[in-house]
Amino acid sequence: MRQEWSKIVGQRKTSYPKLSLNYDQFKTIVVAHGTNILARRGEEILFSIDRNNENAIHELYKYLSGDKSFGGSLSKGILLNGKYGSGKTLLMRAVCSTYNYYIKQFGHVTSQEMRFVKSSQIVDSFRKEKNDTEITEYKFGPLIIDELGREQKEVNVYGTVIQPMSRVLQDRYDSGAPTFAIANFKLETLKSEEYYGKMVGDRLRQMFNEIELTGESRRK
C-alpha cells in the first residue's frame, strides 16, 4: 500500500533538468544574460552581483542544481519578493534565460523551456478567451509569474465571474509543475482576503519557498 501511495505522489511532481554547472559558471552566465537584458532596454550598465542580490542568486543556484543545502524544500517552487525596483524581475529574467541556455547547450532537447509571463498576461488570456490550448499551457512546465498579486483578481466572461490567477495557481498545484513567482508582497500578505484568500493562500504556502531580494530601489 505504501509503495502504491508513493507512486501516486510521485506522479504529481513534474521533474526538470537540474543544472550541472558550478556556482561560478552559473554566476557568469546570469551576469551575461542580465547585462544583455539591460542592453535591450537601452541601459548602458552591467548587471552586477552585490551584497543585496548575492544571497538570492546563491539560493536560486542551489535550488536549480538540486543542492540539498538549499535553505528550503526542493519539492516546492520559489517566490522571490522584495521592494519595488530592487531588481527582482531583471534577476529572474536572467535566471530564466540561463536555465533555457543550459537545457539547449547541454542536450536536454526534450525538456520544456522555462516560460516568463506577467500576471496581467494570464488574466488577459482568460478575458480575451484565447483558445483553450494557451490557457492549458499555463498548467504545465517551468513557469515564472511576474507581479503576482498585482493582477485583476476577477474578470467577467459572458456573465460568468472567474478568478484567472487563482485558477492557474490551483491547476499548477494539482499538476505539481515547478512554479516561480515574483512579488512585492510576502506570502502572508498574499494569503489575505485582499489577495487570494485562505484556500488559495494555503496552496501558496505549499507551493513556494520564499526568498527575499534585499536592498532599496536600483532605479534611477
Which domains are delineated in the chain?
2-213 (3.40.50.300)
**Helix (H) and strand (E) counts for the chain?**
9, 7
- The answer to whether the beta carbons of residues 120 and 152 sit under 8 Å apart is yes
The structure's pTM equals 0.89
Residue 9 pLDDT: 39
Burial of 51 (0-12, 13-18, 19+ CB in 10 A): exposed
Nearest Cα neighbor of 58 from 144, 217, 67, 183 is 67
Query: Which H helix or E strand runs over 171?
Result: helix 164-175
d(CA 11, CA 177): 11
Residue 7 pLDDT: 41
Integer angstrom CA distances of residue 111 from 10, 62, 140: 18, 20, 12
Residue 6 pLDDT: 37
Series of mean pLDDT values for 10-residue runs along the chain (220 residues): 39 69 97 97 94 97 96 96 95 97 77 91 81 71 96 86 91 92 95 90 94 85
Q: What are phi and psi of 100, to 5 degrees?
A: -65, -35
Locus of grid cell 491547476: 171
Residue 134 pLDDT: 59
Q: What residue type is assigned to position 3 of the chain? A: Q
How does 167-188 read in b/e, with b if 16+ C-beta sit within 10 Å?
Answer: bbbbebbeebbbbbbbbbbebe
Residue 219 pLDDT: 73
